[in-house]
A and B are shown apart, each in its own frame.
Chain A
Amino acid sequence: MRIGVIGLGNPLQQDDGIGIVLVNKLNERKHLLPSDVEILDGGTGGMSLLHLFARFDVVFILDAVNFCRKPAESRLCTYDELLSKKTPITMSTHETDVLHVLRLAKELNQIPEEVYIFGVQPKTISPGMHLSRELQDAVPSLVETVVKKIVVLSQRKKR
């Protein structure tokens, strides 16, 4: 079982880079994660993500997602839930990209068995390399949450 934890976003656009910040923090705590987990910085990769996704059985995307909540609130959903449009969700600056790539991956039969998106509500998206205070303060607890979810996912998959 190969699990890919892929951070997306642009760290030059403040909170849009939360996925990349989380990936960097996770890399520092790699020892807490199961060995079948690979952590990757997907940036604003667009189509390149298709090839990254194809390498894994399970993909866990970390990204800034606007679901009209308070800044730094997070939420985990599956690809199917995201596509069902039951939830009013827009991904941030690269909004169309990842969903289109996932749709295309599905059409091409290159989609991992399971795709999860861990979205964090951004506050400020404008040029700058620092997170907003709200998101900055939430980083430690967001990292904890992500680690727990990945560990659970990996154990469930091993059963």
Chain B
Amino acid sequence: MKTITIDPITRLEGHGKISIFLNDAGDVENAYLQIPELRGFERFAQGRRAEDMPQITSRICGVCPVAHHFASTKALDAAFHVDPPSAAKKLRELLYCGYIIYDHILHFYFLGGPDFVVGPDAPAAKRNILGVLEKVGLDVGKDVIKHRAYGQKITAILGGKATHPVCGLPGGVSKGLSKDEVIEIKDMIVSCVGFAQFTLKVFDDVVLSNKKYMELICSDGYSLKTYNMGLVDKHNKMNFYDGKIRVTDPDGGEFALFDGKEYTEYIGEHVEDWTYMKYPYLKKIGWHGLHDGKNSGIYRVGPLGRLNASDGLATPLAEKEYKRMVETFGGKPIHSTLAFHWARLIELLYATERAKELIEDPKITSTHIRNDVGAPSEGVGVVEAARGTLIHHYTVDSHGLIKKANLVVATTNNAGAITMSVRDAAKAVIKGGKVDEGILNHVEMAFRAYDPCFGCATHTLPGGMPMVVNIYDSKKQLYRRFSRGVDE
């Protein structure tokens, strides 16, 4: 029996909590991560008009409103038994690329990248976008802001609103593109392709050519041999907006390939008594605790999960980078958690290239952007949010009202893996009870690689997300406490 209560403190503060337990010797016995979520949403959705769901769900989170908007819209396509016209699908995917562009830029320059660009041992006050700008120069900084704004602007033009899009409807989109808008978007995208290439060059110069960083990236403390999951097209190439869900095993072989609507056959959700967070796992393998390996049903989603679960990328420049990454790590799958950063930048390049293909497609200005809907029933919509696979599942009654809703969000998919990564990193760096800010950051880097999102706009800026770390001694007494970005 599971009771869901809504805890106002965690919901409002929205910060993550890591609890680390030490043994008598002061080494790490275990570590747990708790991520607050907007809970009870499923009940909240009941009785609402189905066509309002894309707007409502885009408000769940200020970080990935576009992902929720389209997972929801696609669930409605399925529930209303309608296949959108090809131009509508292209417009949705183009908007989606804009979102990936601004979100991945945000992560590299503002959230996760500072660990490398400024350095993992640099003082916390420097490990942020301002520290990055100091290092790479103000002109680059202007470029960062400019291209992030481009991604944002593309989503605003297509989505009809600045932050939370309103264009998605069952069967299509409500707004097409004018010829002037095509020219405006194209100019921005061409510039974004160059900027994505530049960013990979920065990663090359700062991270890949630094022996110390590469040792850190390849070290055991940051390695996890799990299954991987992501959407793929019919050639098994990674896709953000559409396709089948593919799962590969820790050796890289295909484990499963299925339609989104079959997700309940493949994904189970394990509940632990110490947290409200659900731990998804592969049903056919089963839940065997927080372990990696082939016999554990835990999988990873997000940039590295996607690149491991696919056979590469469908655009030339990104595919080239992808091959280089695989070669650098000596083949697939790549188990290094910190490789998420590289994978994310390769996806940034893919998103820009794919957006260019879409905007250059003469059919993108078609005015046939919506098909008629049928009688509603049940539907599942799946997209790849910036941080991983996102599933919306609705049952709609004959009046078009939501009877049942279930959401499996990206950070929840990664819950088991993030918890293990945090534990392993803590074990690797905390010895003999010695803990300080620098050590804490090495633990934090393990979860930051996943770019976890805490439900509702809780990415604080600059430099990371609100976080509390409690360290307990062998008698379970609080030994040290660190917090960051949390008003206490």
Contacts and interface: CB of A to CB of B under 8 A. Distances in A.
Interface of A: 10-13, 40-48, 50-52, 54, 90, 92-97, 100-101, 103-104, 107-108, 110, 125-129
Contacts of A41: 161-164
Contact of B62 (A43, A50, A96): A43
B485 A96 contact: yes
Contact of A44 (B102, B129, B456, B461): B456
B459 A40 contact: no
Nearest to B14: A93
Interface in B114-162: 129-130, 133, 141, 145, 148-149, 152-153, 161-162
13 contacts: A12-B44, A43-B59, A44-B61, A44-B456, A45-B457, A46-B457, A48-B62, A48-B152, A54-B149, A96-B461, A103-B462, A104-B130, A104-B461
A94 B6 contact: no
B162 A48 contact: yes
B487 A44 contact: no
B214 interface: no
A107 B461 CA distance: 13
A110 B44 CA distance: 39
Contacts of A94: 62, 456-457
A155 B162 CA distance: 27
Given A41-B163, A44-B62, A45-B457, 11 more contacts: A40-B162, A43-B163, A45-B162, A47-B459, A54-B145, A93-B12, A96-B461, A100-B460, A100-B462, A108-B141, A127-B40
Nearest to A50: B145
Nearest to A90: B487
Contacts of B487: 90, 95-96
Given A94-B62, A127-B38, A42 B460 contact: no
Contact of B456 (A52, A93, A100): A93
Interface in B446-478: 456-457, 459-462, 466
B163 A47 contact: no
B457 A97 contact: yes
B56 interface: yes
A130 B335 CA distance: 46
B65 interface: yes
Interface in B349-386: none
B contact residues, range: 35 or more
A136 to B, nearest CB: 19
A70 B60 CA distance: 27
Contacts of A129: 56
A72 to B, nearest CB: 20
A146 to B, nearest CB: 19
Contacts of B485: 96
The listed residue with most A CB atoms (<10 A of its CB), out of B60, B153, B162, B487, is B162
B145 A108 contact: yes
Contacts of A40: 162
Contact of B461 (A90, A95, A101): A101
B52 to A, nearest CB: 10
B63 interface: yes
B145 A42 contact: no
Interface in B97-118: 102, 106, 110
A12 B52 CA distance: 13
B59 A47 contact: no
Contacts of A12: 38, 44, 56, 59-60
Nearest to A11: B59
Nearest to A55: B149
Contacts of A48: 62, 102, 152, 162-163
A8 B466 CA distance: 20
B8 interface: yes
A100 B163 CA distance: 18
Nearest to B8: A126
A47 B106 contact: yes
B487 to A, nearest CB: 7
Contacts of A50: 145, 149
A93 B457 CA distance: 8
A104 B133 CA distance: 12
A10 B12 CA distance: 12
Given A96-B485, A107-B130, A46 B59 contact: no
Interface string B394-437: 00000000000000000000000000000000000000000000
B12 A44 contact: no
Given A90-B487, A93-B457, A94-B457, A45 B145 contact: no
A102 to B, nearest CB: 10
B232 to A, nearest CB: 29
Contacts of B44: 12, 127-128
Nearest to A45: B163
Given A45-B62, A108-B145, A127 B152 contact: no
B129 A104 contact: yes
A96 B466 contact: yes
A45 B149 CA distance: 13
Contacts of B162: 40-43, 45, 48, 52
